[in-house]
Chains A and B, each alone.
Chain A
Amino acid sequence: MNKILEKEYFSDKVVKLVVENPLIAKSRKPGNFVMLRIGEDGERFPLTIAGSDPVNGTITLVVQIMGVSSSKLVALEVGESITDLVGPLGKPTHIEKIGTILAAGGGVGVAPLLPIVEAFKKAGNRVVTVIAARNKDLIILEDEIRKWSDELIVMTDDGSYGRQGLITVGLEEIIQREKIDECIVIGPAIMMKFASILTKKYNIPTQASLNSIMVDGTGMCGACRVTVGGKTRFTCVDGPEFDAHQVDFDEMLMRLGGYTQEEKKATEIYSQNL
């Protein structure tokens, strides 16, 4: 169980893993995530299921190296196993034929976006996608996303690839060009915040997939709580997707920083011991 069968570096920091887990491969739906733990002293952390192969019993994860846990995961070689892997968690994305979907993915958020883009396309929608990252090295899954999009725009902050500019520039261009029925955004909280402000201006219903800090991922701890429409919700069981226009992104950004000092220290110790 949980054996790593394939490992591919998209860049220095972004790695794709194909992991054996037949039960999750069978039961997962687009939008679901898993919780992982690496080693007996490891922490529990979430990753979106970027794809699955129910026939071969595998799921695909795409992870960006951030701190200790993501580094420990990426340090595992093909043939080694993930200590604990549980899922599928979270509510699946609501997929139906709506019309034209505008999909926006920032950084490693493109990985969770992929199965959603694929599902919307298969449901008969027109899908226009914008993906963006700080620079060329951080653009991932471009070909896979293109396969399921009617149109794809790639953007980088520094102009090293595709078009230069923030993701909102690309989004606004499309919104002004054609009628969008629904928008979905996944990426860093700050990107989701500004994408959401933009689509609100144009009154386009928008879903955002939130990446709050989690411990159990099953609704038991409340670490992942966010304010949506003035009410406290748990990202792991009530989400991870919410009506972006109702999400208090400023609070979410504040909560994401809740353990910054502890994480920094842990990363320092981890790299010293390497």
Chain B
Amino acid sequence: MSLNPEYLKEERSQEWRAELRSKTKNKDRTLIPRVKMPELAPEIRVKYQDREVNMGLEPGQAQKEATRCMDCANPTCIEGCPVNINIPKFIKYIESGEILKAAATLKETNALPAVCGRVCPQEKQCEAKCFYVDKLDKQAVAIGHLERFAADFERNSGVSNVPETAAPNGIKVATVGSGPASLSFAGDMVKYGYDVTVFEALHEIGGVLKYGIPEFRLPNSVVDFELENLRKMGVKFETNFIVGRTASFDDLKEEGYKGFFVASGAGLPRFMEIPGENYNGILSSNEYLTRVNLMGASTSNTDTPVLRGKNVAVIGGGNTAMDSVRTALRLGAERAIIVYRRSEAEMPARIEEVHHAKEEGVEFMTLCNPLEYFANEKGRVNRMSLNRMGLGEPDASGRRRPMPIDGSEFELEVDLVVVAVGVSPNPLVPSCLPDLKVTKWGTIVVDEDKMQSSIPDMFAGGDIVRGGATVILAMGDGRKAAENMDKYLHNID
């Protein structure tokens, strides 16, 4: 693994890196201000659902930002990355202008760098552990922006480097679902020589990357490019196939599948179960985003409709809420409001998303909680009542518990409400496997070191195990499961 200190030291001591280090004094490196990502202007971008907000660094900007990185002897940033990308190595390749080598470094441990560079909550992961933040109290090296730069450079260069795969071993394995956990599992297994088939219930491959995260944050073309790479490596994809329904696990075993990786995600939307929540015009963020992102409902040539609102309230403070509220703006809302029961400091969304939402004109009603919805004579929501909240003692999650303030009720005019208060694990797979151990929340129980479930030939990872996490954690699970399934399948033979 790249976290091995000996290995890291050896790589760091290579001549080209030593030379780069001596070229610029650390003092001078620290004086360079952090790069600012070029962005599409807010007043323009709110008109387009499909135009990416972040436009990517220019080569000069990337090189200068890369120069900030001091190639630390103890690169703590790597510990912050769930897949332990060799961060200084790839950044130093950018500094030295060898961008394709930087991209290859990323691919050593991360199957989807162009995706992660865009959607990782870097401020909580790699960048939180950067020396600049930890010791200098300065802004972190922009690791995410640089990762995206290298991955995009490779994609646009036309030199796609398809990783090498071992000779086929003829052993069939299946993954359930096609989100990031499955894709990274499939990438690794095919490298080991397995015959991998990805089964997906929907008509598109990608899981949340396709149906959830909007184009203005993660273009589908970026995901499709990575999928094409997996195809070239030999991964097979079956859409419109629900494992457990279209065919059972036993059917697949009969067809020769020897191992299963369940990464079916946390696709079950939660509602608040308050009065009036089933009125028309009140929908889950999954429904809203699926209609727009997967079904293309925002364009006029598709058959799937989407409700548009003038006054849109989005309930929640996570990435899903930010994606929904910014989508509402792009679909023509005059007011798009985040209603969140805690304060902004507790919001789980990526900071960049909150910042972008504000620039675009999203209103934030924090410390407010919905109580009830009201509708017109046709059953379409037209009003909601809310409570103001105060913050009490910290709860189990360590965040201060929101408490309703007596007599603080007020009303808000709304004609569209998107409920983004979380998701539960997809119950489909556990419901058809009585022997599979699950927690009381419905997540699959695994041995954390191996990602192996209570059924030996079945491994699991991503949101179906974690209940709701991040793209990169899901991918980390996929890698770990691949490594251990490989060992398991070799031992039983």
Residues of A within 8 A of B (CB): 23-24, 27, 37, 41-44, 68-69, 72, 83-89, 215-216, 218-223, 225-227, 232, 237, 251, 254-255, 257-259, 262-263, 266
Please pick, from B240, B246, B307, the residue contacting A259 in the complex, using a CB distance under 8 A: B307
A221 B248 Cβ-Cβ under 8 A: no
B202 A216 Cβ-Cβ under 8 A: yes
Shortest CB-to-CB span from B442 to chain A, Å, is 12
Indicate whether B286 reaches chain A with its CB closer than 8 angstroms: yes
Known: A41-B301, A232-B271, A255-B280. A215 touches B287 (CB 8 A): yes
Shortest CB-to-CB span from B283 to chain A, Å, is 7
| B427 / chain A contacts, CB cutoff of 8 Å | 219, 237
A219 B428 Cβ-Cβ under 8 A: yes
Shortest CB-to-CB span from A24 to chain B, Å, is 7
A223 B247 Cβ-Cβ under 8 A: no
Complex CA–CA separation, A254 to B377 (angstroms):
10
| A84 / chain B contacts, CB cutoff of 8 Å | 203, 239-240
- The 7 tightest CB contacts between A and B, nearest first, are A262-B305, A254-B379, A221-B287, A258-B280, A86-B240, A43-B303, A43-B304
Complex CA–CA separation, A118 to B281 (angstroms):
39
- By CB atoms of chain A within 10 A, which of B202, B211, B281 has the most? B202
| A232 / chain B contacts, CB cutoff of 8 Å | 271, 273, 277-278
Indicate whether B267 reaches chain A with its CB closer than 8 angstroms: yes
| B242 / chain A contacts, CB cutoff of 8 Å | 86-87, 89, 218
Please pick, from B201, B271, B277, B378, the residue contacting A257 in the complex, using a CB distance under 8 A: B378
**What are the interface flags for B410-453 relative to A under an 8 Å C-beta threshold, 1 for contact and 0 otherwise?**
00000000000000001110000000000000000000000000
Indicate whether B245 reaches chain A with its CB closer than 8 angstroms: yes
Task: List 6 A-B residue pairs with CB atoms under 8 Å apart, sorted by A's residue number.
Answer: A23-B247, A37-B203, A43-B303, A83-B203, A219-B428, A220-B290
Within 8 A of A (CB), among B200-246: 201-203, 211, 239-242, 245-246
| B268 / chain A contacts, CB cutoff of 8 Å | 219-220
B305 A263 Cβ-Cβ under 8 A: yes
A218 B267 Cβ-Cβ under 8 A: yes
A259 B241 Cβ-Cβ under 8 A: no
Please name the residue on chain B nearest to A251 by beta carbon.
Answer: B278
| A44 / chain B contacts, CB cutoff of 8 Å | 203, 295, 304
- By CB atoms of chain A within 10 A, which of B273, B280, B306 has the most? B280
Shortest CB-to-CB span from A213 to chain B, Å, is 10
Residues of B within 8 A of A (CB): 201-203, 211, 239-242, 245-248, 251, 267-269, 271, 273, 277-281, 283-284, 286-287, 290-291, 295-296, 301-307, 378-380, 426-428
Complex CA–CA separation, A220 to B463 (angstroms):
14
| B273 / chain A contacts, CB cutoff of 8 Å | 232
B302 A41 Cβ-Cβ under 8 A: yes
Please name the residue on chain A nearest to B296 by beta carbon.
Answer: A41
- By CB atoms of chain B within 10 A, which of A222, A263, A266 has the most? A222
Known: A220-B269, A222-B286, A259-B307. A27 touches B246 (CB 8 A): yes
Interface of A is mostly: mixed
| B291 / chain A contacts, CB cutoff of 8 Å | 215
Known: A215-B287, A254-B379. A23 touches B246 (CB 8 A): yes
Shortest CB-to-CB span from A271 to chain B, Å, is 13
| B277 / chain A contacts, CB cutoff of 8 Å | 232
Complex CA–CA separation, A42 to B203 (angstroms):
11
Complex CA–CA separation, A166 to B491 (angstroms):
68
Known: A221-B284, A254-B280. A27 touches B303 (CB 8 A): no
Shortest CB-to-CB span from B275 to chain A, Å, is 11
Complex CA–CA separation, A216 to B204 (angstroms):
12
B426 A219 Cβ-Cβ under 8 A: yes
B303 A86 Cβ-Cβ under 8 A: no
Shortest CB-to-CB span from B331 to chain A, Å, is 13
- By CB atoms of chain B within 10 A, which of A216, A227, A259 has the most? A216
| A42 / chain B contacts, CB cutoff of 8 Å | 302-303
Known: A84-B239, A86-B203. A219 touches B278 (CB 8 A): no
Shortest CB-to-CB span from B426 to chain A, Å, is 7
Shortest CB-to-CB span from A142 to chain B, Å, is 32
Please name the residue on chain B nearest to A219 by beta carbon.
Answer: B268
- By CB atoms of chain A within 10 A, which of B268, B284, B304, B427 has the most? B304
Please name the residue on chain A nearest to B423 by beta carbon.
Answer: A220
B245 A87 Cβ-Cβ under 8 A: yes
Please name the residue on chain A nearest to B288 by beta carbon.
Answer: A221
Complex CA–CA separation, A241 to B251 (angstroms):
27
- By CB atoms of chain B within 10 A, which of A88, A216, A221, A258 has the most? A221
A266 B278 Cβ-Cβ under 8 A: no
A41 B303 Cβ-Cβ under 8 A: yes
| A266 / chain B contacts, CB cutoff of 8 Å | 303, 305
Complex CA–CA separation, A263 to B290 (angstroms):
18
Please pick, from B301, B303, B428, the residue contacting A218 in the complex, using a CB distance under 8 A: B428
Complex CA–CA separation, A15 to B380 (angstroms):
34
Complex CA–CA separation, A108 to B246 (angstroms):
25
| A258 / chain B contacts, CB cutoff of 8 Å | 280-281, 307, 379-380
Please name the residue on chain B nearest to A217 by beta carbon.
Answer: B201
| B378 / chain A contacts, CB cutoff of 8 Å | 254, 257
A86 B241 Cβ-Cβ under 8 A: yes
Known: A218-B267, A219-B426, A258-B280. A85 touches B240 (CB 8 A): yes
| B302 / chain A contacts, CB cutoff of 8 Å | 41-43
B246 A220 Cβ-Cβ under 8 A: no
Complex CA–CA separation, A259 to B295 (angstroms):
16
| B379 / chain A contacts, CB cutoff of 8 Å | 254-255, 257-258
| A85 / chain B contacts, CB cutoff of 8 Å | 240
Complex CA–CA separation, A137 to B2 (angstroms):
72
| A24 / chain B contacts, CB cutoff of 8 Å | 246
B290 A215 Cβ-Cβ under 8 A: yes
| B287 / chain A contacts, CB cutoff of 8 Å | 215, 221-223
| A237 / chain B contacts, CB cutoff of 8 Å | 427-428
| A89 / chain B contacts, CB cutoff of 8 Å | 242, 245
- By CB atoms of chain B within 10 A, which of A24, A84, A219, A255 has the most? A219
B290 A216 Cβ-Cβ under 8 A: yes
B245 A88 Cβ-Cβ under 8 A: yes
A43 B295 Cβ-Cβ under 8 A: yes
| B280 / chain A contacts, CB cutoff of 8 Å | 254-255, 257-258
Shortest CB-to-CB span from B82 to chain A, Å, is 25
Please name the residue on chain A nearest to B378 by beta carbon.
Answer: A257
